[in-house]
Chains A and B, each alone.
Chain A
Amino acid sequence: MDFLTLIQVFDTTIRLATPLLLACLAGLFSERAGIFDIGLEGKMLASAFLTAAVAAVTGSVLVGLLAGIGGAMALAGIHGLASITFRGNQLISGVAINFLAAGLTVVVAQSWFGQGGRTPQLSGNARFGTIDLPFAAEIRDIPLLGPIYADLISGHSLLVYVGLLMVPLTWYVLFRTRFGLRLRAVGENPAAVDTAGISVVGLRYAAVAICGLLTGLAGAYLSTGLQAGFVKDMTAGRGYIALAALIFAKWRPWYALGACLLFGFLQALALRPDVIEGTLGFEVGVQLLDALPYILTVVILAGFVGRAIPPRAGGEPYVKER
């Protein structure tokens, strides 16, 4: 594998890791506050559809993005209602949200555009264009550093940089602010937070709303950054891979970046079987690469390679003592 191929594969890695990263951080906020969320997939899908649909109609991707975030947050609201207010089963609620999004997006897309459950192809301002960082063209010719800067770091869409910036931001919010401390406390010991006179319900709703916002960004990137339009089931299990990455990262932001880059790298390799064969000298099945994130997560979950311990109050509705 020569240097330029490596740059290409890493470039694809960054693009494929971005939706995983945004969704993973979304799950991080939710689960740190004690709300399990297996509905990441559905929220991404809803946002992917609404962003593409509204962008196609208005011609502006930013209006589309707002609609997408709105859609994801509406689903997050349902999840909050079910799991916080009505103290229902958070896992079942997540499953329902995934199906709701999978069904509604196709039904509505068919009704609006009549193209078999897809939106029209997007172009121009209806997509997120690529951003060239300053001096990218000038230093491209410098060996080694030039291509890394110009082709790998520069030239992605806005949401890629937003996703990368979200990592330090998430770390800061969770570990250096009062809100973050309370949010983590509510996922470990909600009774203590309640005793301190802070609203458990309010904090959990806030976490679920942030989760909706970030999955909204993730979905928008899928349909307007990575691809040009919505197609049926376009999330293709990414919500679950993000969930796997979250466990892999043991519910920590910087580890989440690492896990998402790793899983993104596996996805990028699956697109380039020729590279793997050229490097390793033998063929590796695409199916194995597809399954590897899940297998690695099961191994991590099994606790053979470092133990993954979820927030203690995760998945349990909080009932005030009476």
Chain B
Amino acid sequence: MQRMPQWADVILIPLISLILAAVLSALVILAIGENPWAALKLMVEGSLGSTYAWGYTLYYATNFIFTGLAVAVAIHARLFNIGGEGQAMLGGLGVALIALFIPWPHWTLALLGGAVGAALFGAAWAFIPAWLQAKRGSHVVITTIMFNFIAAALLNYLLIGALKPQGSMEPATGRFPEATHLPTFQDMFSTAETALFRGAPVNVSFFVALIACVAVWALIWRTRLGYEIRAYGQSEGAAKYAGISPVKIIVVTMLISGGLAGMMAINNVMGEAERLVLNAVEGAGFIGIAVALMGRSHPFGVLLAALLFGFLYQGGAELALWTSIPRELIVVIQALVILFTGALDNMVRMPLEGLFLRLRRAPKPDRKTSPAE
């Protein structure tokens, strides 16, 4: 069913969807009496105009790479993991426990330990929905939504109770020890004369996110497991016939997905806050859905989409700072991107497919009636 060239599928359709979302967002800005062009300039300036601005953009992008990859891996098995938010919260818990209770000698080891802890906790949180889907047929979307709320309640409980240091009034853990502090880009790239990325939270986990992109690519397209995941996603019946166990694929895919979402915590909890606070995830788990849809579930696409959302997030914060446009405008843009690239995909695709069919037929009217698939 190749109705149009592949470049149209991977580039043109997301681009048109993005333009549609952008136009509607501009209309929203116009409707509330602001100038969309000025808003865009402010956003570009505030998110790409200096190394400080880049530092924030890349910091947000790191979060979204992890959660976007989490959703993308699940989509390959035709599972919709909407629980990235809860899994990332639990990842934060894993990082906090590991950073607080294990005396790490050096940040490299702490990063490794933190990543493992975050992934384990995130994966554990995805395990029950996965197991229920695989064994009992309960829909993974509904269970992961429920687990988001259960995670929020659990963290609330722990941060008000057991994990709060004595005498503190704030619902947060104590600060992590010095040895677990990750180097920021400022530490890594500043020279004696020029300070780059000064004060920006972007840190070494950005590179971990890039490695994760490559690892996911290799997993999906270069391993037997990846092949099985894709086969199961394409056709459950065929996969079963080929001897692939649906239970194994569902559980393993969701564990990987949850682990990736959980690993976001090395960036926001270990790298930035250096302690676990309430609502540390700030909706990044949900943005992962938009990122994965936009990036067509390909790690490179996810990387680009995550950068785009990092830009939107930081730009939106700048907008809220300097204009009367509230930060929630980003939520609107995010919703429009999800709507156009996810739900209304066919609205863009159908006319485009028709157009390509006509283009292909037009120059060769005398060609034999080969089916134009």
- Interface residues of chain A, those whose CB is within 8 Å of chain B, are 38, 78, 81-83, 86-93, 95-100, 102-104, 106-108, 110-111, 114, 117, 232, 237, 240, 243-244, 247, 285, 287-288, 290-291, 294-295, 297-298, 301-303, 308, 310
Complex CA distance for A316 and B162, rounded to whole angstroms: 45
Task: Tell which of A92, A102, A103 touches B293, judged by Cβ atoms closer than 8 Å.
Answer: A92
Q: Does residue B112 face the partner (Cβ distance < 8 Å to A)?
A: no
Instruction: Looking at the assembled complex, report how far the CB atom of A92 sits from the nearest CB atom of chain B, in whole angstroms.
Output: 4
Mark B228-239 against chain A: 1 for CB-CB distance below 8 A, else 0: 000000000000
- Identify the stretch in B174-182, B249-257, B263-271, B325-333 within 8 Å (CB) of chain A at 4 or more residues: B325-333
Return the contact of A100 from the options B82, B142, B161, B332 (Cβ within 8 A): B332
**Alpha-carbon gap, A302 to B150, bound state (A):** 16
B339 lies within 8 A of chain A by Cβ: yes
Assembled-state Cα–Cα distance A93/B145 (Å): 15
Neighbouring B residues of A108 by C-beta, 8 Å:
32
Contact between A237 and B328 (Cβ–Cβ < 8 Å)? no
Pick the contact of B289: A92, A100, A110 (CB < 8 A): A92
Across the interface, do B339 and A110 meet the contact criterion of CB distance under 8 Å? no
Query: Which A residue's beta carbon lies closest to that of B145?
Result: A240
Decide: B343 and A83 in contact? CB cutoff 8 A: yes
C-alpha gap A102/B286 in the complex (Å): 13
Bound together, the chains give a CA A290 to CA B142 distance in angstroms of 17
Given A103-B329, A107-B325, A310-B139, check contact A96 B342 (CB 8 Å). Answer: yes
Chain B CB within 10 Å, residue with most, of A98, A117, A301: A301
Q: Taking A93-B342, A117-B326 as contacts, is the C-beta distance between A86 and B347 under 8 angstroms? A: yes
Looking at the assembled complex, report how far the CB atom of A76 sits from the nearest CB atom of chain B, in whole angstroms: 13
Contacts A88-B345, A92-B289, A100-B335 given; indicate if A106 touches B326 (C-beta within 8 A).
yes
Chain B interface SS verdict (over half): helix
Q: Does any Cβ of A come within 8 Å of B338's Cβ?
A: yes
**Total contacting residues, chain B, CB less than 8 A:** 50
Residues of A with C-beta under 8 A to B138:
298, 301-303, 308
Contact residues in B for A285 (Cβ distance below 8 Å): 157, 161
Contacts of B244 in A (CB 8 A): none
Q: Which of B141, B333, B335, B347 contacts A38 (CB 8 A)?
A: B141
**B157 near A86: Cβ-Cβ < 8 Å:** no
A274 to B192, CA, bound (A): 61
A146 to B240, CA, bound (A): 64
Query: Is A82's CB under 8 angstroms from B145's CB?
Result: no
Residue of A nearest to B82 (CB): A95
Alpha-carbon distance A302/B136, docked complex (angstroms): 6
CA distance A83 to B343 in the complex (A): 7
B33 at the interface (CB under 8 A from A): yes
Question: A111, B33: Cβ atoms under 8 Å?
Answer: yes
- CB proximity of B140 to chain A, nearest CB, Å: 10
Contact B145 A100, beta carbon cutoff 8 Å: no
What chain A residues lie within 8 Å of B336 (beta carbons)?
Answer: 96, 100
